[in-house]
Chains A and B, each alone.
Chain A
Amino acid sequence: MSLAGRLAQYGQARGSTGRAAPVRAARPPGAAREGFAHAVMEVAVARGGARPAELAEDLAALELPTAPALARALATLAVGPREGLDAECPAVMFDLETTGLMGQPSTVVGVAAAAWHVAPDRLRVEQWSLGQLGAEGDMLVHLEGVLRSHVGPRCALVTFNGASFDVPLLRRRLVRHGIVRPTDDPLRMPHVDLVVPARRLWRDRGPDCRLGTLERDHLRLGRRGDVSGAEVVELLWRWLERPDAESAADLARVQRHNRLDVISLAALAHTMHGRMRRPVDAVERLRAARHHQRLGRSALALELLQPLLVALARVAARRRGSALEVEAGMLAADIDRRAGRRGEAARHWARVCRAVPGHAEAHEALAKHLEHRARQPGAALAVAGASDSPCARRLIRLRGKLAEGAEIPSLPQVIDAWADPRV
């Protein structure tokens, strides 16, 4: 029997036995839609400046950085090229909206946006929106071309969580459509993922570290009627299935969400830069210092730690200092030790020992310093023995080093001597 005949019979059998039709009911075909849409708009950096009507309200309270300001901000937040980012176009902000998680076969890119400075005080935002699922390949070719033509050694790609999501997903979709060979990786470009510094600054300091939350809490970006991640998926599917006005409104909501996300990346970078330089409270101060140290800027880290270190120095003996001050002391000691400033390091450890008697790490570090650097086994023994969890081997060794009948100095004496050395 021909296939036609078999299909007819198959349809008969299925229909008559009353089995449910597969998947979704067929939709009536609407007007032919173009494969994808590409929109361009320009946004002024200044708050009162020229901004497209649909964005003006949302961005009203948002302070966007100029190009040089963004370059500075990114330099604070991540390790950049030696000669620095281009002051005219330091970065391309980028964000995707998809119909699912990475790794799900049904995930396609629905909407994508990229933004960059075309003038020191003006941002250009380009947005791609999928009209037909089968046109995803074409859309991504266009998108990838735009990215590649702007991103370079002195112009970084900036995303939020893009290292785990947007970039690998984009690459996978490009390979899937046969646009990029499986062995190639054209998206290997300088990339600043803002989720990293964001987590460093704000981990456990709010409900979460998602972009929307940070926008709300730190950028004062007021969005009314915004969509959630799960909603985005549903709205995109509806748009792809139904060609009517209602679903077009759905798409518009997703587009708006995406545009705001991409623009706010610049503002977020700028804000985080501010916090890393001028932290608003002690916790931020400490975290910012850690961040700077991670990036190899120890001088800046120490500078930021100063207020906390001063407070630590003032803590009288046996009065417990705050945990932040203690942490600051340990961090400063670590920085100094690595830089070879051992005396300074010892001072910090001693101060911690004074503030928190028995603090294991500080006692051990100080004891080690006394034993091997200062070569004062008696003092070392006094300090080591006072630790909450002393190292047995060290104690035995130190006792061995002491001369017969030598006196072990008193702990407070040792601590004071090293915490406030008289030059």
Chain B
Amino acid sequence: MLERYPSFSRARTLLSGAGNGNGRDHQALARTGEAHVQPVEDDSSRLNSAAEEIASHPAVDLVHLEERSARAAAFGNWPDHLDPRLLGALRERGIARPYVHQHEALHALSEGRDVVLATSTASGKSLCFQVPIVEAVLRDPGARALMMFPTKALARDQVESMRRLTEALPREAAIGVAVYDGDTPPAERRAARARAHAIATNPDMLHRGVLPHHEAWGRVLAGLRYLVLDELHTYRGLFGSHVGNVLRRLWRLCRHYGARPQVIACSATIADPGELAQALCPWLRDEGVTVLDRDGSPAGPRRFLVVNPRVVDEITGVRRDYIKVTREVTTILRRAGVATLAFCRTRRAVELLTRYLRDDESRERAGKGCEGAARVAADTAIRGYRGGYLPDRRREIERALREGEARVVASTNALELGVDIGGMDAVVLAGYPGTRAASWQRVGRAGRRGRPSLAVLVLSSSPLDQFVAASPGFLFDRTVEQARVDPDNPEVLLPHMRCAAQELPMGAEEAWPGLTAGDTEMALGYLVEHGGLHHEPGPGGGRFVVLGSESPAEQVQIRGVMEEDFSVLDPAGEVLARVDFEDGPLYLHPGAIYPIEGRTYEVRELDWDGRKARVRPVRASYYTVAVSKLRVRVVDDPPTEGADEGTGTGTAHVVRHVPGFKKIRFDTHENIGYGPIALPDLELHTTAAFWGLPFAAAAQLSDPAQRAGATLAAAHAMRHVAALLLMCDVGDLQHAVTAGHPSAWGLALDDAMSPDALAEIEAGGLPHVVMYDRNPGGAGLAVHAFSMGASFFDRVIEVVRGCGCEEGCPTCMGPSTEASEQYGADRAAVLVVLQAFRDAAAGRRA
């Protein structure tokens, strides 16, 4: 059901991704207030011919083509009474007039309103907080601003950007901009607190380093005029709920010191940025928040190609490997001299792609001359980028991109956030990123001011990708996903209330931001009952305090428990990269081939306790992929009355075991061997809910394979709907299917399924769906879903029924790789499972 050359639809306003160099492009055109955008002729023709070549490449089928014509810049005016020194500095930076969205933001702020900017990447959002901050400080040297960024790297980047503006001010109007994070040395910390006017930090630092010591920050909090929240959309799910509470504590302290800062939030394109801002900052609910999403920055014409690798074997339906196809697509762009950013879904893909592209490039150059020089040139022009690289290396790659030294970069989502890399001309997505929001965010990285840009999505063979191939409207027609957050979740709320009580004793009549006074009292009463708080009687109901020398803030992890990362060390003992603790067994087992920007190293030794992996450089003809197996065991809570045997909630013990690894040859990707791994298992203790398939349904689905597949698909749907209803991120929950009651240790099926589990389930065990919280210790999510009973399943059934596709689509079926293809689940079977669960739940209530 593939379309080959579908109709070319034009001028879709939904394709709002084309940002531009945010003023730092070394080839930037100065803004002179011209209404037209002049596309550069040879750029356009280069891109067009590259696009043509890609579309007609023999290895792919063109599924869809979107085009959007250029958008001229729409300008506004500076607010009246803007300090002339600031105007002068802006002019010196090449900014003569603001774009409309900047104009609207500045005017809204000068009227005392709070603002959420939801324009695209690199549309000049930073200006919307830099200008008001500078203006406020010029008028009142005691004015302060706190800027919160989700990562340290972003904070430092933004501080550099703001300093470029403040340095253009005359000397007597000096404005201090500082970073305050875990890496800031003590002397700089003191200076930041005492003298800086604008301070950039992150939620973790705010939670642990600033708020508990608020009297040391008295000057800043008392003078706080603006609270900047950048990349607002990253504060969702469980992490976002924590951040929401940190912000509530901050607001409470601001009020204590007599300040009422205005909020300036910047968000990527999500469905309801205003709502997210109000969920995180409940004090905005009364007055409302001004959402600005009309982008006035100029955009060149953009083309978006969706391509599907061709089927190579008619009988099995197998398609060409999408990484190889991405390689070819990117090569076309590279040869055309187009600056390209290739986003990959996994680190392995980044490494493979970097290596392949460099091989291609150096081979071509070597053909014209010296091989050694060709290799060096290839290594400079083509870079790989991912989170595990050390900060120095990442800064270096960012710089190389900005200055045009690097022409092609393969990256994970690490480059999705707004770190300044100049502008690219093309973005290639190796595989569908999983959400529309992420897709637009990445595509938005392409397009320099006024110049044409190209985006190419290369679909993989996973069901979700193939679904996009079948219905591209899925990508273009629907609005982007919501960012959901739930700061009132008691798991999150209560620990933060304790932190707040230590910051300032809580009065009995106090209302926690976002809650009524009555609800606050109830929560406080709960804490007292369980020993978290102490009530001291007195007038007005008394006070709630924290006794003891322990620090409540130390006991709250806002990003989930952090285990220490592994360091990758070369033979000389230098640290080459870092790997998250959870991924250690997968990537750093002895015998693993660990690549950095395509260069391969073999892991000789892994020091588990010391968190060190020792590697040496090798010329490998293969790479390694670890195999992992999942086991789940749930220890029941005492059963409630009338409960069925096979359902309930409890503590889950989840174990991920990595028995061995496969060796895969480069280029051909054939499996050439296997090796054993003997490393500690990864364990997770958390809370879970489980549902066993009732006998009646099992009887109806007599084929064990179909039964297993349908249950897995049902579990997937349940998880996604639970995330929707619980206002958390899909990633905050996990689902698995066990053969039989999960109280016994059972192999579990999840999206990365294993053949043994399949065998067990097929042997006739009754499948049980287990849903558990990703967060160690649990976060009340799965348990809450269970407590919703039949109404939860009603919603799931609604979603699966009404999802609009004929057979069952990945949204309701689950993007598993080999799994659901092998099981061949279909919607009808899934509905049988869900209906059975629903009836059982209704029966329980009755």
Nearest B residue to A6, CB-CB: B490
Residues on the B chain within 8 Å of A24, using CB: 531, 547-548
Q: How far is the CA of A27 from the CA of B533 in the complex (A)?
A: 10
**Does residue B828 face the partner (Cβ distance < 8 Å to A)?**
no
B655 CB within 8 Å of chain A: no
Evaluate contact between B784 and A100: CB separation under 8 angstroms: no
Whether B547 lies near A133 (C-beta < 8 A) is: yes
Q: Which of B488-535 contact A (CB under 8 A)?
A: 488-491, 494, 498, 502-505, 515, 519, 522-523, 526, 528-532, 534-535
From A9, A176, A182, A237, B780 is in contact (CB under 8 Å) with A9
Contact present for A106 and B550 (CB under 8 Å): yes
- Chain A window 157-172, contacts with chain B (Cβ cutoff 8 Å), 1 for yes, 0 for no: 0000000000000001
Question: Which of B81-89, B303-311, B536-544 forms contacts with chain A?
Answer: B536-544
CA distance A17 to B648 in the complex (A): 13
Enumerate A98-113 residues with CB–CB distance to B below 8 Å: 99-100, 103-106
Which residues from A are CB-within-8-Å of B515?
A: 3
A27 to B218, CA, bound (A): 34
**Distance in Å: Cβ of B126 to nearest Cβ of chain A:** 29
Q: Are A182 and B222 in contact (CB under 8 A)?
A: yes
| B504, B519, B534, B548 — most chain A CB neighbours (10 Å) | B534
In the complex, the chain A residue whose C-beta lies closest to that of B534 is A241
CB-contact partner of B216 in A3, A16, A172, A178, under 8 A? A172
Contact with A along B790-823 (1 / 0, CB 8 A): 0000000000000000000000000000000000
Q: Are A29 and B216 in contact (CB-based, < 8 A)?
A: no
Measured CB to CB, the closest approach of chain B to A400, in angstroms, equals 48
Query: Cα distance A21–B526 when bound, in Å?
Result: 12
* Docked CA distance A106–B218 (Å): 17
Instruction: Report the nearest A residue to B503, measured CB to CB.
Output: A105
A67 → chain B, closest Cβ, in Å? 36
A293 CB-CB contact with B under 8 Å: no
The reply to whether the CB of B583 lies closer than 8 angstroms to some CB of chain A is no
| Option from A19, A29, A35, A100 in Cβ contact (under 8 Å) with B549 | A100
Beta-carbon contact of A176 and B547 below 8 Å: no
B488 and A6 contacting across the interface, CB-CB below 8 Å = yes
Cβ–Cβ contact A105 & B649, under 8 A? no
A22 at the interface (CB under 8 A from B): yes
Segment 118-146 of A: residues with Cβ below 8 Å from B: 132-135
Interface mask (B763-787 → A, CB under 8 Å = 1, otherwise 0):
0000000000000011010011001
- Could you say which residues of chain B place their CB within 8 Å of the CB of A26? 528-531
* Residue B389 lies at the interface, judged by CB distance under 8 Å to chain A: no
Number of B residues, CB within 8 Å of A: 59
Most buried by A among B214, B215, B498, B503: B215
Most chain B CB neighbours (cut-off 10 Å) among A11, A22, A27: A22
Report if B650 contacts A (CB, 8 A). yes
Closest A residue to B506 by beta carbon equals: A134
Q: Does A324 contact B (CB under 8 A)?
A: no
Min C-beta distance of B526 to chain A, whole Å: 5
Interface assignment of B637: CB less than 8 Å from any CB of chain A: yes
A25 beta carbon closer than 8 Å to chain B: yes
- Mask, A49-86, CB within 8 Å of B = 1, is 00000000000000000000000000000000000000
Query: Which residue of chain B has the shortest Cβ distance to A101 in the bound complex?
Result: B549
In the complex, whether B450 has a CB less than 8 A from a CB of chain A is: no
User: Which residues of chain B are near A11, meaning CB under 8 Å?
Assistant: 526, 530
Task: Kindly list chain B residues whose C-beta atoms are within 8 Å of the C-beta of A17.
Answer: 637, 650-651, 687, 778
Given known contacts A3-B515, A7-B523, A134-B538, A173 and B215 CB-to-CB distance under 8 angstroms: yes
CA distance A12 to B491 in the complex (A): 12
Complex CA gap A35/B539 in Å reads 11
Indicate the member of A4, A32, A103, A106 with the most B CB atoms within 10 Å: A106
> Of the candidates B523, B543, B649, B687, which one forms a contact with A132 in the assembled complex, judged by CB atoms under 8 Å apart?
B543
B568 within 8 A of A: no
Q: Are A175 and B218 in contact (CB under 8 A)?
A: yes
Please give me the residue from chain A that is nearest to B535 by CB atom.
A29
Q: Counting CB contacts under 8 A, is B212 at the interface?
A: yes
- Known A-B contacts A25-B531, A134-B543, A172-B216; A13 and B649 likewise in contact (beta carbons under 8 Å): yes
In angstroms, Cα B537 to Cα A1, docked, is 31
Partner of A35, one of B212, B522, B538: B538
Complex Cα distance A32/B537, Å? Answer: 6
Q: Is the CB of A183 closer than 8 A to any CB of chain B?
A: yes
Q: In the complex, are the beta carbons of A106 and B549 less than 8 A apart? A: yes
Q: List 5 A-B pairs, Cβ < 8 Å.
A: A9-B784, A18-B651, A22-B531, A26-B531, A105-B553
Given contacts A9-B780, A17-B687, A181-B222, 8 further A-B contacts (CB under 8 A): A7-B522, A23-B548, A26-B529, A133-B505, A133-B547, A182-B257, A183-B222, A241-B548
Residue numbers of A with Cβ under 8 A of B are: 1-4, 6-7, 9-13, 16-19, 21-27, 29, 32-33, 35, 99-100, 103-106, 132-135, 172-173, 175-176, 178, 181-183, 233, 237, 240-241
